[in-house]
A and B are shown apart, each in its own frame.
Chain A
Amino acid sequence: MPPELDQVVREEWGRLVALLLAHFRRLDLVEDALGDAVEAAARQWPRDGTPANPAGWLQTVARRRVVDRLRAEAMAQRRHALVVTDLERRPPRAMADPGDLVEDDLLRLVLMCTHPALAPESASALALRLVLGVSTHDIAALFLVPEPTMAARITRAKKKIVTAGIPFAVPDLAVLPDRLASVAQTAYLAFTAGYAPASGPDLLRTALAGEAVRLVRTVRALRPEDPTLTALLALMLLQHSRRDARLDDEGRLVLLDEQDRDRWHRDEIEEAGRLLASPGLLGVPLPEQAAGYLLQALVAAEHAAAPTSAQTRWDRIVILYDQLLEVSPSPPARLARAVAVAEAHGPRAGLAALDGLEVPGSHRVAAVRAELLARVGEVPAALEQLDTALAACGNDTERAHLRRRRAELAPTGG
């Protein structure tokens, strides 16, 4: 694909889909037509030169395709012939249109992709596909499923949008914050799938996290005052800023306290800091979800602000986790709080904070318990917990880390 085409697909795909959809209301035709237009561009641009307005070129070609398809359908049905003529007469809307229409169209597209009547995992994939133009092949790789599986999932979601009449519309202002919250949830789901791989080797997952950040950025540009999107973008940027330091040269997991802080992306940390200082987040009551993202972002900001791991303000982090547990008490938050307590007040306090905590199916509680037991010198109990963690852990990189820790504690293999 020529670089100019690659760039316009990356930057304008969502807007083009939104524009065409606003005009034709036929999701099934619009996306195929745009795909055809990109294919045609890949053939013609290297031969004839890149057009002056690449996005406009794609829009025009895709428009013609949709009209052709509608005409073919109308020929089959006769009765729609007049509709097609009418569509052809309408002037195309310019890409350069500076008005709110295009932005609202894009917001409509995002809200349609993340409609609550669609399964959340389909919604994430659909938003990456339709809003950001990520190829089905890449989305499949990002979510670690076979391409035909992902293609079927996306096709099913598109079919449901068309047949169930899921609207291409911005809902009433009264419910818009709720809907944006579900958009945020969808983006966070995609981000988490990329940031904390639950299984398999680490591959393209950083790219998925990056795409999820781009999605939140895109939606927040349309509704900059929304506190949930602002807090979430800050949280994601802070976590994403550590991506290059999380694995060493051999692809092994590097825990936070051992990470090379020079490899953190400082520009992203600074951007997150500006977001966290925005007026929409401070001194106002926040919806529960926004408050949850904000508190997690503030924890991440404490880590980002510490020049070294040893200088981390763990006492402040414990307080932030206490507040987070008040907003949304969840086992993972309790686990994170216990780690912070151990750092602030010693491993025994951490072990006490872990008392009675179980996260079914997760290896992390056992792994943390093992580490704290090792620190207070209870090696046999630590080994037992490490074995429990190893049995439950499905991620290759994390398993390697647990095995290394086990070998350090029991050099003779006991």
Chain B
Amino acid sequence: MKYLVLLMADGELPAWSTLSEEEQQAGMRQFEDFDAACRDRDGVEILAAEALGAADTATTVRTRGGERTVTDGPYAEAVEQLGGFYLLQAPDLDVVLELLTVLPPYDIQVSPVVDPY
């Protein structure tokens, strides 16, 4: 199955930009450890993964009553500070949840990708 893993919010972690250089490096190592844990796990593959620009660099497009508006900022009702995402191939939800313990303790949403079959 494919899962989209959204790193939704920092949770109890301080914002990335407020971390010292050493703390940022420690954080980066956790992402590397996560990559390694996924590589080592049977049936797991990271299909895509990116960090996203800060919320104030997002652009929102809405169409209401046929009229399209483009505005500054994230879609506030959905995500305040979506920081990044992984698209994973994994056998089941528990494998994903187990691997995610390697990442820093962000608030995370895991959504299955709809299988057309």
Query: Could you list which residues of chain A lie within 8 angstroms of chain B, going by C-beta atoms?
Result: 77, 80, 115, 117, 163-167, 169, 171
Q: How far is the CA of A171 from the CA of B90 in the complex (A)?
A: 16
What 1/0 flags go to B89-116 for Cβ under 8 Å of A?
A: 0111111010000000000001010110
Query: Quick check: B114 and A169 within 8 Å, CB to CB?
Result: no
Please indicate which of the listed interface residues B93, B95, B115 has the most CB atoms of chain A within 10 Å of its own CB.
Answer: B93
Inter-subunit contact B93/A117 (CB<8 Å):
yes
Contacts of A167 in B (CB 8 A): 91-95
Find out whether the CB atom of B117 lies under 8 angstroms from the CB atom of A164: no
B114→A165 contact, CB < 8 A: no
Task: Answer yes or no: B1 CB below 8 A from chain A CBs.
Answer: yes
11 contacts between A and B (CB under 8 A): A77-B117, A80-B117, A117-B93, A163-B114, A163-B115, A165-B91, A165-B93, A166-B93, A167-B92, A167-B93, A169-B92
Instruction: Tell me the total A-B contact number using a CB cutoff of 8 A.
Output: 29
How many B residues face the partner with a CB closer than 8 A? 14
What is the CA–CA distance of A169 and B1 in the complex, to the nearest angstrom? 16
Q: A165-B1, A165-B93 are in contact. List 4 more A-B contacts (CB 8 A).
A: A77-B117, A163-B115, A167-B91, A167-B95
- Measured between alpha carbons, how far is A117 from B109 in the docked complex, in Å? 11
**Contact status B92-A166, CB under 8 Å:** yes
What are the nearest 8 A-B pairs in CB distance? A167-B92, A165-B92, A165-B1, A165-B93, A164-B112, A167-B94, A166-B93, A163-B112
Binding site for A on B (CB under 8 A): 1, 3, 90-95, 97, 110, 112, 114-115, 117
Interface centre among B1, B90, B92, B94 (most CB of A within 10 A): B94
Hey, which chain A residues are within 8 Å of B115, CB to CB?
163
Contact status of A165 and B117, CB under 8 A, knowing A117-B93, A171-B94: no
Residue of A nearest to B115 (CB): A163
Contacts of A171 in B (CB 8 A): 94
Instruction: Contacts A77-B117, A80-B117 given; indicate if A164 touches B93 (C-beta within 8 A).
Output: yes
Find out whether the CB atom of A169 lies under 8 angstroms from the CB atom of B94.
Answer: yes
Q: How far does the alpha carbon of A76 sit from the alpha carbon of B115 in the complex, in Å?
A: 15
Which residue, of A115, A165, A166, A171, has the highest number of chain B Cβ atoms within 10 A? A165
In the assembled complex, the Cα of A117 lies from the Cα of B95 at a distance in Å of 13
Q: Please, how many angstroms separate the alpha-carbon atoms of A165 and B91 in the complex?
A: 8
Distance of B96 from chain A, by nearest CB (Å): 8
Residue of B nearest to A116 (CB): B97
With A and B bound together, what is the CA distance between A261 and B114 in angstroms? 58
CB neighbours of A163 from chain B (8 A): 112, 114-115
For B1, list chain A residues within 8 Å (CB).
Answer: 165
* Residue numbers in B under 8 Å from A164 (CB-CB): 93, 110, 112
Q: How far is the CA of A330 from the CA of B14 in the complex (A)?
A: 32
Give A70 Cβ to nearest chain B Cβ, in Å: 12
Q: Which residues of chain A have C-beta atoms less than 8 A from B92's C-beta? A: 165-167, 169
Complex CA gap A171/B3 in Å reads 20
B117 CB to nearest chain A CB (Å) = 6
Nearest B residue to A160, CB-CB: B112
B-chain residues with CB within 8 Å of residue A115 when the two chains form the complex: 93
Distance in Å: Cβ of B76 to nearest Cβ of chain A: 26
Name which residue of chain B comes closest to A77, CB basis: B117
CA of A317 to CA of B3 in the docked complex: distance in angstroms?
51
- A77–B116 CA distance with the chains assembled, in angstroms: 10
Task: Give complex CA distance A117, B1 in Å.
Answer: 17
CB distance from B89 to the nearest CB of A (A): 11
